[in-house]
Amino acid sequence: MPIITFSSDSYRKSREIAKKTAEALGYKYVDRKILSSVAVKYDIPEAKLIKTLDETPSFMGMSSKAHKQYLAYIQEAVLGELLDDNAVCHGVAAHLYLLGISHVLKVGILMDFDERVRQVADQEKVSIEKAKKIVRRQEKQRKRWSLDNFNLDETDPSLHDMVINISQIDPEEAVSMISTATGYRKFKPMTYSIKCMQDRELAARVRVALLKDFPDVRVQARDGTVVAEIKALKREKHRKSSAVKELVGNISGVHYVEVHAINDIFRQAAESGR
Amino acid sequence: MAEKLEVLVLDDEPIVGRRLKPALAKIGCDVEVFQDPKEALERIGQKEFDIVVTDIRMDEIDGMQVLEHVIKKSERTKVIMITGYAMISLAREAMEKGAFDFIAKPFQPDDLRLVIAKAAKALDSPIDFEIPPPNGA
């Protein structure tokens, strides 16, 4: 059975629907609770991981390097959890790193702008005008976050398989619609989609192992073959490639490592300017 | 002894049939190999196969058409799609049209044998096959 990911402009409402969907289908529910185990594993305050999912790096806030690293830890953990299907996933941006996997049903939950404004006004005890500004800022923030981290516009409905406006459809009805959709054959796990999932999980683990030493690393995996793309100066290529192979070679599931060391043009330019 | 599974393999690349025939024969399948979709469809018209393994991208008649044809003729037959051009839209389309499974090329013979074993189970004709653990462990 498939995996269902939720994303929304209304975190609380979509969480409610996601939880109810998991209950209705008897699926595992994966949400931000997973962050506590990530925090323990990597010895990072959980609050920083939550911040990673909500905010973009900034001069006064989290550095870009830390943000990238924490997000990689989160991805690694979430993908590990989702290796078994029959899961509902909410609040960890999974829809952005599970694109292209056919047994992932990506659900977008929308709420009318005015309703969101009213909710914010009630929650924050602010005027409607102020609430409008907050909602617009949140929208902008979501868009920027997804573009910065995944080069995808989170607010684009075409990223989803199903978009439900909960200002028009009751949560119970939404749960029923989503549950019905999971029965469609097109969302059934198949050898290809399961392998895609395994490849992505392996790539995430490898990336985590490399990020500290190779912050720009890009990793792809297929059937145990891992391709790591790193930046290096010409004279460093051999040494860095060997270092990657040593770091990755013993990771479970890795059978072969290929390193593509591409020219670090910025460092090269900096060096030649000296 | 249980009856052999009747399997038709269709791929316009001769190497695929040459590799798969012995690989599937090892797990007790009776395999007929075709490179020409027209000939394969003709054969499917004459005989009800338990399993059809078909490539998707072929000239004149593609694998999706073969899938539709097989499903129309025999709902019991399990169709396994194989392709070197795997992508989400194609995978979903194949499953929606009734494919039993979808495999991206290149694949190991064991990958297909495992899917064949699943199909055999779904057909109530289980075969004895398990993927050997890595490194012979």
What are the structure tokens assigned to B18, written together? Answer: 């040459």
* Among candidates A185, A186, A195 on the partner chain, residue whose Cβ is nearest the Cβ of B104: A195
Beta carbons of A190 and B104 less than 8 Å apart: no
| Stated pTM of the model | 0.91
Residue that has been written with the tokens 């949560």 in this structure: A171
Tell me which chain A residues have a C-beta less than 8 angstroms from the C-beta of B63. none
Amino acid sitting at position B36: D
Residue B60: its pLDDT value, please?
A: 87
For chain A, residues with pLDDT lower than 70 are 273-274
Sheet architecture: strand order including A256-263: A218-222, A225-232, A256-263
> Could you tell me which residues come within 8 angstroms of residue A246 by beta carbon, excluding any fewer than 6 positions away?
none
* Among candidates B87, B96, B115 on the partner chain, residue whose Cβ is nearest the Cβ of A191: B115
Q: What b/e sequence results for A14-34 when a residue is b if at least 16 CB atoms lie within 10 Å of its CB, and e otherwise?
A: bbbbbbbbbeebebebbbbeb
Question: Beta strands of A133-247 (E only): which ranges?
Answer: 162-165, 218-222, 225-232
A192 touching B (Cβ < 8 Å): yes
Section B38-45 average pLDDT: 96
Section B63-75 average pLDDT: 95
Beta carbons of A100 and B87 less than 8 Å apart: yes
Is residue A64 within 8 Å of residue A149, measured between CB atoms? no
Is residue A193 within 8 Å of residue A102, measured between CB atoms? yes
Is residue B124 within 8 Å of residue B106, measured between CB atoms? no
Section B53-62 average pLDDT: 93
Chain mean pLDDT for chain B: 91
| pLDDT tens-digit readout, A197-232 | 999 999 999 999 999 999 999 999 999 999 999 999
Say whether the peptide bond before residue B37 is cis (omega within 30 degrees of 0): no
Beta carbons of A192 and B111 less than 8 Å apart: no
